[in-house]
């Protein structure tokens, strides 16, 4: 099973600041990595798939990068609605696995 480790667990930032979230895989997932956002009380929402492709309707301030085992989600300038929990997910191997999540909170 591919283990995804996200860091940091919590990121405390102010609106307008840049957020950089990390996801590290226990073995290569090639480019088969996605990012999701989950706001409190809501279902997850797909942000980015295959490392850097934004899903439909996702603002350009969200971007993804990386390859192999190290990946980054960047939010260029935090909006109030971006304070949420973010998860990465790999589809390289079964079972599909998610990272433990990074909470982006208001500083």
Partner 1 sequence: EVQLLESGGGLVQPGGSLRLSCAASGFTFSSFAMSWVRQAPGKGLEWVSAISGNGGSTNYADSVKGRLTISRDNSKNTLFLQMNSLGADDAAVYYCAKVVVDGNYPYWFFDLWGRGTLVTVSS
- In DSSP terms, 48 is beta-bridged to 35, 54
CB count in 10 Å sphere of residue 38: 15
Contact residue for partner 1 among 14, 40, 56, 80 (CB under 8 A): 56
**How distant, in Å, are the alpha carbons of 67, 74, 87, 95 from that of 78?**
24, 10, 17, 33
- Of the candidates 47, 92, 39, the residue with the CA atom closest to the CA atom of residue 67: 92
Residue 75, number of CB atoms within 10 A of its CB? 22
Out of 24, 44, 52, 63, name the contact with partner 1 by CB under 8 A. 44
Count of residues engaged in binding partner 1, rule: CB under 8 A: 24
Q: Which of 97, 101, 88, 107 is nearest to 9 (CA)?
A: 101
- Residue 90 Cβ vs partner 1, minimum distance, rounded to whole Å: 9
Q: How far is the CB of 71 from partner 1 (least distance, A)?
A: 14
**99 touches partner 1 (CB under 8 A):** yes
Select from 2, 23, 36, 82 the one that contacts partner 1 (CB under 8 A): 36
14, 43, 60, 80: residue in contact with partner 1 (rule CB under 8 A): 43
97 binds partner 1 (CB under 8 A): yes
Q: Which residues bind partner 1 (CB under 8 A)?
A: 1, 32, 34, 36, 38, 43-46, 49-50, 55-56, 87, 89, 91, 94-101
């Amino acid at each position: 099973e591919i283990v995804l480790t996200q860091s940091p667990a919590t990121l405390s930032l102010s609106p307008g600041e840049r957020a950089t979230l990390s996801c590290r895989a226990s073995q290569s997932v090639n480019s088969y990595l996605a990012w999701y956002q989950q706001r409190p009380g809501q279902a997850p929402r797909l942000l980015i798939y295959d490392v850097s492709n934004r899903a439909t309707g996702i603002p350009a301030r969200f971007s993804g990068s990386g390859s192999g085992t190290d990946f980054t989600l960047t939010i260029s300038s935090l909006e109030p609605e971006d304070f949420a929990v973010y998860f990465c997910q790999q589809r390289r191997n079964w079972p599909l696995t998610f990272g433990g999540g990074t909470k982006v909170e208001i500083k």
